[in-house]
């Protein structure tokens, strides 16, 4: 059975950017039909990762950027003491690996949260195609910029919000991203553990667990382990803006 699924997956993977289901949700956004074929020649390798599989780890030499094709990954940094900070969760169409551009080696780790397939964009080849396709350069810059903005959101969430607001924002953001992928934005199946969520938000797992329970009591969610159903999207949205603690911490001189 294992060989069979592998064969099936490999067939899936052989499809090019032109025929990929992600389409405009990925790097090809804004790229013309002709240039798309050239982008295809950039995608050399396509990899499958099982749950827990590592795409790159801290210290790995920089070889490529990676596009999540299906499944999901988390990225995180880990200091010498083993202390971890989750940086983000990455869904199909998202590009990761930019951290390695500065020093030509990765300074973070990327790990699959579930069985996932990855498009690999060897950087040398990508650079060459970029020099031929100016639109691709602009698009790539847009993608990096989006990553910068996303990290700003993460910072605001950790620095300014209460724990409950943080979780609400996290869930709403995840729901929105799934919906943009034409998937269910109401009945979520969280690919990451409570530990991952807690770490991402700068909280402990007990707090996150309690918050899920509280949101369920409030009638906002229906929680069943990984399965989370958003019963009241309106309330969830309210909670995201519920700046009850909008005081001193928010001023700046």
Applying CB under 8 A, the residues found at the interface with a second copy are 76-77, 79, 81-87, 98-102, 107-108, 127, 130-131, 134, 137-138, 141-149, 151-152, 154-156, 158-160, 193-196, 198-199, 201-206, 241, 243, 246, 248-253
Tell me the two tokens of residue 72: 């999901």
Stretch that binds DNA, among 18-26, 57-65, 93-101, 206-214 (CB under 7 A): 206-214
Q: Which residues contact 213 (CB under 8 A, 6 or more apart)?
A: 223
- Site membership for DNA, residue 182 (CB under 7 A): no
DSSP string, 177-242: HHHHTTS-SSEEE--S-HHHHHHHHT--HHHHHHHHHHHHHTTSEEEETTEEEES-HHHHHHHHH-
- Site membership for DNA, residue 241 (CB under 7 A): no
149 binds, among a second copy, DNA, none (CB under 5 to 8 A by kind): a second copy
180 binds, among a second copy, DNA, none (CB under 5 to 8 A by kind): none
- Residue 3: DSSP 8-state: H
138 binds, among a second copy, DNA, none (CB under 5 to 8 A by kind): a second copy
CA distances 135 to 30, 141, 150, Å, are: 7, 10, 22
Tell me the two tokens of residue 68: 């999540």
- Site membership for DNA, residue 206 (CB under 7 A): yes
Total residues interacting with DNA, rule: CB under 7 A: 25
151 binds, among a second copy, DNA, none (CB under 5 to 8 A by kind): a second copy
Among 12, 128, 164, 173, binds DNA (CB under 7 A): 164
CA distances 247 to 160, 163, 243, Å, are: 10, 16, 9
| Closer residue to a second copy, CB minimum distance, 19 or 247 | 247
**Secondary structure (3-state) at 89:** strand
Q: Which residues contact 99 (CB under 8 A, 6 or more apart)?
A: 106, 107, 108
> Looking at beta carbons, which pairs linking 143-147 to residues 24 or more positions away fall under 8 Å?
143/27, 143/95, 144/98, 147/95, 147/98
Q: Considering the complex, what minimum distance in angstroms separates the CB of residue 108 from DNA?
A: 20
Pairing of strands 187-189, 109-112: unpaired
Stretch that binds DNA, among 8-16, 17-25, 33-41, 160-168 (CB under 7 A): 160-168
- Site membership for DNA, residue 203 (CB under 7 A): yes
Q: Considering the complex, what minimum distance in angstroms separates the CB of residue 140 from a second copy?
A: 9
Binding residues for DNA, per CB under 7 A?
A: 162-164, 193-195, 202-210, 212-213, 223, 225-226, 245, 247-249, 253
């Amino acid at each position: 059975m294992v060989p069979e699924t592998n064969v099936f997956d490999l067939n899936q993977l052989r499809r090019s950017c032109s025929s990929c289901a992600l389409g405009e949700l990925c790097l090809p956004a804004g790229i013309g039909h002709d240039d798309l074929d050239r982008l295809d020649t950039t995608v050399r390798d396509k990899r499958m990762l099982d749950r827990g599989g590592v795409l790159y780890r801290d210290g790995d030499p920089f070889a490529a950027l990676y596009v999540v094709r299906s499944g999901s990954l988390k990225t995180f940094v880990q200091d010498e003491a083993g202390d971890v900070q989750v940086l983000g969760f990455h869904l199909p169409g998202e590009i990761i690996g930019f951290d390695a551009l500065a020093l030509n080696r990765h300074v973070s780790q990327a790990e699959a949260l579930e069985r996932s397939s990855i498009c690999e964009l060897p950087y040398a080849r990508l650079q060459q195609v970029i020099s031929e396709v100016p639109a691709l350069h602009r698009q790539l810059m847009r993608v990096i910029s989006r990553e910068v903005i996303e990290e700003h959101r993460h910072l605001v969430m950790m620095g300014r919000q209460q724990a409950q607001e943080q979780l609400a924002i996290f869930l709403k953001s995840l729901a929105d991203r799934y919906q943009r992928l034409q998937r269910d934005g109401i009945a979520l199946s969280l690919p990451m553990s409570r530990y991952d969520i807690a770490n991402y938000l700068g909280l402990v797992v007990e707090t996150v667990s309690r918050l899920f329970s509280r949101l369920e009591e409030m009638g906002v969610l229906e929680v069943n382990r990984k399965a989370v159903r958003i019963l009241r999207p309106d309330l969830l949205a309210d909670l995201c803006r519920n700046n009850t603690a909008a005081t001193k911490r928010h001023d700046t001189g």
